[in-house]
Amino acid sequence: MTKHFLADTGVLLGRSLRHITRSLDTIITTTIMPIAFMLLFVYVFGGAIQSGADNYVDYLLPGILLITIASGIAYTAFRLFLDMQGGIFERFQSMPIARSSVLWAHVLTSVVSNLISVVVVVLVALVMGFRTSADVLAWLAVFGILTLFTLALTWLAVLPGLTAKSADGASAFAYPLIFLPFISSAFVPTETMPGPVRAFAEHQPVTSIVNAIRDLFTEQPVGSDIWIALGWCGGLLVVAYLCAMAAYRRKIS
C-alpha cells in the first residue's frame, strides 16, 4: 500500500512540477515582492532602523525568507482550486490511484517551488551584502526549519484551495500570513514596540522562527527559540493536515 502511494505521488508530483516549469513566472512572481521588500527596507529605511546589527540585511533576511514562503503558498491554493474546478479530481477518482497522493503532490510541489524561491532570495541578499559565519550544520538546521514552515503553511493553504468559491478567495487567505512578519522581530527588535503590540509580537510564531534562524546564521546560542519555533510549526502542521484531509474526504465523498 505504501509503495502504491509513493509511486502515485511521484507520478502526480512530476505532473505538477512540469506545470511549474512551463510557467516559471509563478516562481518569479513569488520572489519579486520579498526582494522588493528587502531592497526597500535595506536601502530606504535601513539607515533609520536601529536593529543592533552591523549590517541590516543580515538582520532582515530571516523575516524576508518567511515572507517569501507565505507569498508562495498562495499559488498552492490557487492551483488546487483550479484542479478542483477543472474536474481533475473526479477523473483521478476513477483511476486506481491512492486518493491522498493527489494532495501530497500539490504539497510537495509547493515545497520544491518555495525552496527554489528561497534560494533566489538568499542569492540576492548575498549580492546586497549578506554575510554569515554559519557552518553546514547551521545551514541544514535553517533548511529544516524553513521546510517544516513551508509544509505547515502549505497544508493550511490546502483548506481554501478545497473550499473557496473563487480563485481570488483561494489565494487571498495568504495576505495576513505575508504581513504577520511585520508585527514580529523580523524588521525591528520587539523591545522598540509599544506595550500591546510588543506583547503580541513576542508571543506569535514568526518571532521565534525568525530569532532561531537569525541565531543560526550568526552562530549564537539558539536557546528556547528553536524549540518554540519547531513546536509552532509542528503543531500547525498536524492541525492543518488533519483539517485538510477531513475537508478533502468531505469534498470527494
Residue 241 pLDDT greater than 80, yes or no: yes
**pLDDT for residue 178:** 84
Q: Measure the CA–CA gap between 114 and 109, rounded to whole angstroms.
A: 8
How is residue 49 written as a grid cell? 532602523
Instruction: Say how many domains are in the chain.
Output: 1
pLDDT over 70 percentage in the chain: 79
pLDDT in tens, 167-224: 777 777 778 888 889 999 889 888 888 889 999 999 999 999 999 999 999 888 888 8
Q: Give the amino acid at 185.
A: S
- Min mean pLDDT across 58-62, 86-90, 140-144, 247-251 is at 86-90
Q: Where do the H-state alpha helices sit in the chain?
A: 2-22, 25-40, 56-85, 88-93, 100-127, 136-163, 167-172, 174-179, 195-202, 205-217, 225-252
* Closest C-alpha among 160, 10, 173, 177 to residue 79: 160
Q: What are phi and psi of 223, to 5 degrees?
A: 60, -140
Q: Measure the CA–CA gap between 32 and 27, rounded to whole angstroms.
A: 9
* Closest C-alpha among 114, 123, 133, 103 to residue 249: 103
pLDDT in tens, 149-179: 999 999 998 888 888 788 777 777 778 888 8
Better pLDDT: 139 or 3? 139
Which structural domain, as residue segments, surrounds residue 244? Answer: 2-252
Region 5-23: mean pLDDT is 66
Contact assessment for residue 210 and residue 63, using Cβ atoms and an 8 Å cutoff: yes
**pLDDT for residue 146:** 95
- Radius of gyration of the CA atoms of the chain, in A: 19
**pLDDT for residue 136:** 92
User: What is the model's pTM?
Assistant: 0.88
Q: Measure the CA–CA gap between 65 and 31, rounded to whole angstroms.
A: 10
pLDDT in tens, 114-125: 888 899 999 999
